[in-house]
Amino acid sequence: MANATNALMQGDSRRRFTDKLARLSVTGGGLVVLFALLLIFFYLAYVVLPLFKSPEVTVNKALDLTFHQQPAQLGVDENGQLGFRYSQSGALTIFSLEGKDKVVMRQQLTDSPTSFFAQHTTAGITAYGLSDGSVVFHRLRFISHYTDGKRSFTPDIKMLGSVQLSLVKKPITQLSFSDHNDARIIAGLSGDQIHVLVEKGDVETLRTVIDSDPSAKILVTPNGRKLFELVGNNLNVYAISSSGVQRRESVDIDLVTGHKPTGMALLAGGHSLLIRLDNGTIGQWFDVVKAKARSMTLAREFPTVKGDLAVEAHRNVFANLAPDGVLSLWHAPSESRDVFDFPQLASSVDMMAFSPRADRLLIEQQGRLDLLTVDNPHPDVSIRSLWQQIWYEGYSEPDYVWQSTSGNESFEGKLSVVPIVFGTIKVAAFSLIFAVPLAIGGAIYTAYFMPSRLRKVVKPTIEIMEALPTVILGFLAGLWLAPIIEKNLPAVFLIFVSLPISFLLVALVWAELPKKWRRKIPDGGHLFLLIPLILSLGYLAFIVGPYIEQHFLGGDSRVFVTDVLGVNFDQRNAIVVGLAMGFAVIPTIFTIAEDAIFSVPSHLTNGSLALGATHWQTLTRVVLLTASPGIFSAIMMGLGRAVGETMIVLMATGNTQLMEWNPFEGLRTLSANIAVEMPESEVGSSHYRVLFLTAFILFSFTFLFNTVAEFVRQRLRDKYRAL
């Protein structure tokens, strides 16, 4: 007896130890999962937060250099070690920005010039206009070399020759030029005429003269296709081509803005023109297509005060320094502004310029130079640019745009996350429209009506579908299913319409059949009647489809959709991805919902039937209500799967960033966008961090869906627990 008691106590102690170990293991595993989720959350936030850091501008130092001649251009070399200054009198000065301030080189390039122009704000080709109507060109480079293991730079200035721009040999008072595709387009104001010269190599291909005004200001765009002339209140736009120079349009700035223009400058890339008004305001103008023709349009205005302007070389950012020392830093498309107050810089500004990397700002005031350090790594990203409509260059109106890369070096990314969030919601909606009725209906029939022997075959078969690689589903959808749907649109829609109607008609006929006939069919045997029906309807739809297309859709359903209905049609569209994604989501929803319905206690169904309820009444008023928490969880799990799926949407859609509910158009989702663009993004760039932001949004979506699902499931469970 004692031995039996001891054995029992030892068994109890071992059981308690095992239970405690299992409890600790489950708790520890849950904590590890929670810690991993928090780690992912904080890492994503760590990468994303620098996007929203405010810019910082600080005074680096005042250079111990003084100049007595008016500046024509200021600049900094690519590595920020040397600065350069062209003067209006034709002198070039190179000076050090590191260590002790000193002049590295000083050279007189030409005598008594009458004008100056540099194509870029960085070191490169510059031109001086002379009093005899000629133009002389120079090129400045900084050659790197190593001494004692240290990298240093040596300036190299070279004369590139000269051209006779004004044949009457009058002084060139205004000058602008462009080097593009081995062609040089030169425009110079001499007296009351603008002389335009186009050279390709050493061959003159075009020379023309435009009547103007001695007070005019001129600018040639970097691509050499347009010439802007600001004279009085009018902005004249000339188109430059191989056939000549034609005035495209004239805009009265005073009529549009109510103020007179005083100056103009080009933003990075030369697609936008900044025009300063007499009240200090700066307007951004660019071409917009109106009535199938390009027209210069005022896109936005920046409420600045009178001051000096500096434009970044590679981004649509400009700075305005007022005489009271207030520096405004603007990003043009998003209209974001940051203001900095420097009382020590309160003076009239002769000139200022950004360094090529936009990390320094060189300012000259009354012959004295000051160097500012600029920390503004992500000016193109803000809450407004991410979530609101922005009017970008070349667009006819404000829009949500995701376009992160381009073949053009002057391109600045457009990083609105709205189109890809919309695409994620769209693909989830279309996939659930297809998957939820089939999955829930199949789960109800399998769990409640299907014979147990057949259920043991059907349920594992559907669950095995979940093991299919999504890359295979995407491959089949993109290369096999999409062409079939494109070629057989009427047949596809006939199938979607005819199948539900046929099922209802068959159900009505079945209900009207005599009971003795129905009893002759074994349990589950009616499925073998429906399967041939489905196959026959599908075959019949593909037979009838071409007839409908020929007689009612003009012989081509795609042309009918595009031209008659006015709906764009892409081969890889939302219908294709909805079918493929629905096929991937069905096993998830079916398995969870079927388990929930099958787990409803039998005493509830038996009690309902015993009280006289029909099977259908028992299903709708007892079984589904009791299983509703599990059914809702199944749908939310399917939604989470659809939102996070990558390979299917990557291969079965055109990956176009569209915001249309049109089922015939493509889309791009958060997950597919990350998969496509992450390999080509530069680490630490705005593009890179915005991709992490989209990952953060995707993570938040799934977390939100799971939280809502659990909350609703608990509420439904508490509500129907009494059953």
pLDDT digits (tens, 9 = 90+) for 18-37: 888 888 898 888 899 889 98
Q: What angle do CA 386, 265, 247 make, to 5 degrees?
A: 105
In DSSP terms, 360 is beta-bridged to: 373
From CA 300, how far away is CA 206, in angstroms rounded? 36
| Res 284: pLDDT | 95
CATH number reported for the structural domain that contains residue 664 in this entry? 1.10.3720
Q: Count the domains in the chain.
A: 2
Residues 529 and 442 in one domain: yes
Among 77-91, 198-212, 226-240, 653-667, the minimum mean pLDDT is found in 653-667
Nearest to 86 by CA among 153, 143, 137, 154: 137
Residue entry with tokens 């509500």: 719
Residues 362 and 428 in one domain: no
Residue entry with tokens 């129905």: 518
Residues 263 and 190 in one domain: yes
Residues 348 and 437 in one domain: no
Residues 344 and 222 in one domain: yes
**Which range, 128-132, 304-308, 378-382, 662-666, has the best average confidence (pLDDT)?**
128-132
Residues 470 and 348 in one domain: no
Which comes out higher in pLDDT, residue 262 or 555?
A: 262
As a whole number, the mean pLDDT across the chain is 88
| Res 697: pLDDT | 92
| Res 703: pLDDT | 83
Tokens, residue 709: 């699902």
From CA 682, how far away is CA 646, in angstroms rounded? 22
Over residues 246-294, the pLDDT tens digits come to 999 999 999 999 999 999 999 998 899 999 999 999 999 999 988 888 9
Q: What angle do CA 700, 706, 712 make, to 5 degrees?
A: 130
**Alpha-carbon dihedral sign for residues 119, 122, 124, 128:** positive
DSSP character for 390? B
In DSSP terms, 84 is beta-bridged to: 75, 94
> Does residue 398 belong to any structural domain of this protein?
no
For range 75-87, the mean pLDDT: 91
Residues 446 and 505 in one domain: yes
Residues 371 and 454 in one domain: no
From CA 628, how far away is CA 623, in angstroms rounded? 8
Instruction: Domain of residue 124: give its range.
Output: 56-377
Q: Do the Cβ atoms of 402 and 546 come closer than 8 Å?
A: no
Q: Count of alpha carbons within 13 Å of 52, Cβ hemisphere only?
A: 10
Select from 672, 697, 718 the last residue of a domain. Answer: 672
> Does residue 490 belong to any structural domain of this protein?
yes
pLDDT grade, residue 389 (50/70/90)? very high
Among 407-416, 670-679, 681-690, the minimum mean pLDDT is found in 407-416
Q: Do the Cβ atoms of 640 and 702 come closer than 8 Å?
A: yes
| Res 9: pLDDT | 56
> Does residue 545 belong to any structural domain of this protein?
yes
Residue 5 has pLDDT above 80, yes or no: no
> Does residue 102 belong to any structural domain of this protein?
yes
Distance set, CA 67 to CA 56, 82, 369 (Å): 29, 16, 9
| Res 407: pLDDT | 56
AA letter at 32: V
| Res 4: pLDDT | 58
Nearest to 343 by CA among 358, 322, 320, 359: 322
Over residues 611-638, the pLDDT tens digits come to 888 888 888 888 888 888 888 888 988 8
> Does residue 624 belong to any structural domain of this protein?
yes
Residues 583 and 471 in one domain: yes
CATH number reported for the structural domain that contains residue 83 in this entry? 2.130.10.10
> Does residue 152 belong to any structural domain of this protein?
yes
Select from 637, 652, 672 the last residue of a domain. Answer: 672
| Res 299: pLDDT | 93
pLDDT grade, residue 443 (50/70/90)? very high
> Does residue 337 belong to any structural domain of this protein?
yes
Nearest to 77 by CA among 100, 62, 96, 99: 96
| Res 1: pLDDT | 54
- Number of Cβ within 10 Å of residue 604's Cβ equals 15
Residues 329 and 460 in one domain: no
Which comes out higher in pLDDT, residue 418 or 500?
A: 418
Residues in contact with 659: Cβ distance below 8 Å, sequence separation at least 6, in sequence order? 400, 418, 419, 422
| Res 689: pLDDT | 94
Which comes out higher in pLDDT, residue 521 or 636?
A: 636
Residue 56, SS3 per DSSP: strand
Residue 11 has pLDDT above 60, yes or no: no
> Does residue 413 belong to any structural domain of this protein?
no
Select from 377, 405, 433 the last residue of a domain. Answer: 377
AA letter at 408: N
